[in-house]
Amino acid sequence: MSSAISLAALLANNPLAHGLRKLVGAGSQAPRAYRLINVELKQRIDLSPCLARLVFGGEDVAHVRTLAPDQRIKLLFPAADGCPPDLPREGDWHAARRKLPAAQQPPMRTYTIRALRAEPAELDVDFVLHGVSGPASRWATHAKVGDRLQMAVPNKAFSGDPGGYEWQPPAGIRKVLLIGDETALPAIAGILEDLMEYPVPPDVQAFIEVPHESDCLALRHNHQTRLSWLPRDVLGAAHGEALMHAARELAELPAPSRPPRRPKPREQADDLRPWDSATPSDNGFYAWIAGESGTVMKIRRHLIDERGLERRNLALMGYWRQGRSLE
Ligand SMILES: Cc1cc2nc3c(=O)[nH]c(=O)nc-3n(C[C@H](O)[C@H](O)[C@H](O)COP(=O)(O)OP(=O)(O)OC[C@H]3O[C@@H](n4cnc5c(N)ncnc54)[C@H](O)[C@@H]3O)c2cc1C
């Protein structure tokens, strides 16, 4: 059974809190790091039976900026009464949302900017269609051209760094490991494209787990990149199993920085949404890992406790949680 976790609880309990506060625009200074915009669905491109690219347009898209291929945004969906979100774009939209009766409160979920174009002003989001149990996937499944949403996005008028991204490999990075499930596919696809711009391409190994063989998309990447698709239907694997196998058996990892150790009790705790930013001290190795929270926690334990990797070289993000609804 799914249960909704309030944003306030998430902010209070989670290391992602600082970034989320920026995302929801808390505070009153203008221009803010993130702002609320109105968008309209311009085009729908079915990438595979489980993945749809929704192209959003509208005047407000001109106010968006993106700083990294995993730039996260908040999407606001029609409330239980069926009305499209209509929160005030100026002022504290988050407070305005909280004051609405439950049936009128637009549900909010986190997504990745897959692409942002200036002319015409368009923003692409790739949605995993996992069914109709959640407001985001349900909306994306039925969305038609002309349907309206609101989004909290990095504000072009804000001159500082708005945050909301984790892909920050050190300059001259030599070895990169990417691990993710279908929700991380949009970010990994963008990261692989980003890596094509590097003057000296690092050694890259990437593992992407997807529901079906038909979800293995033709991604652009350096020809040296070793990209492994892990389709669950072909492998007969449950969600996360193939990624865990890849982390254990297939990933070429640097030599351990210290002997393996037994996990401390805190690391065995059931984090709702694990979130570790990487803070590498050199350019030797950088890993970016995102997907279902339970899987990400298992991979974290394996890489750090059993393989002796430095925590600071790993960006680990729980993108969703089996059986829960997270904003
Ligand atoms: C930084 C970040 C970036 C993200 N980027 C993307 C993105 O670009 N594209 C994308 O599709 N998702 C992305 N996600 C994941 C997305 O936010 C979640 O999948 C979200 O839960 C979907 O909301 P929902 O309303 O469909 O389902 P919810 O109401 O949140 O959940 C309803 C039920 O569905 C389950 N569920 C949720 N997601 C999935 C899934 N993918 N597969 C199977 N079951 C699921 C839940 O466990 C729950 O039981 C991102 C998450 C984060 C934190």
For 116-130, the DSSP string reads EETTTTEEEEEEE--
pLDDT value of position 304: 95
Dump the DSSP string for 137-164.
Answer: HHHHHH--TT-EEEEEEEBTT--S----
With a cut of 80, say whether residue 4 has pLDDT above it. Answer: no
> For residue 270, what pLDDT is reported?
61
CB neighbours (10 Å) of residue 12?
A: 9
CATH 2.40.30.170 fits 7-154, yes or no: no
Any ligand 1 atom below 6 A from CB of 110:
yes
The finding on whether 112 has its CB within 6 A of some atom of ligand 1 is yes
**Rounded distance from Cα 183 to ligand 1 centre (Å):** 7
> How many angstroms is it from 182 CA to the middle of ligand 1?
10
34: CB partners within 8 A, 6+ apart: 22, 23, 24, 25, 74, 152, 153, 154, 155, 158, 162, 164
pLDDT in tens, 189-229: 999 999 999 999 999 999 999 999 999 999 999 999 999 99
Residue 211 near ligand 1, beta carbon < 6 Å: no
* Protein residue with least CA distance to atom 19, ligand 1: 320
Q: pTM value?
A: 0.91
| pLDDT of 30 | 72
The reply to whether ligand 1 has any atom less than 6 angstroms from the CB of 232 is: no
What whole-number distance in Å separates Cα of residue 295 and Cα of residue 309? 17
Distance 151 CA to ligand 1 centre (A): 16
Map out the domains of the chain as residue ranges: 7-154, 175-320
**Residue 77 CA to ligand 1 centre (angstroms):** 13
Q: What is the mean pLDDT of residues 23-42?
A: 78
Q: What is the band of 272 on the pLDDT scale with cuts at 50, 70, 90?
A: confident
Whether 93 lines ligand 1, by a CB cut-off of 6 Å, is no
| Whether residue 28 has pLDDT greater than 80 | no
Which atom of ligand 1 is nearest to 16's Cα? 53
CATH fit for domain 175-320, picks 3.60.15.10, 3.40.50.80, 3.40.50.150, 3.60.9.10:
3.40.50.80
Q: How far does residue 319's CA lie from ligand 1's centre (Å)?
A: 7
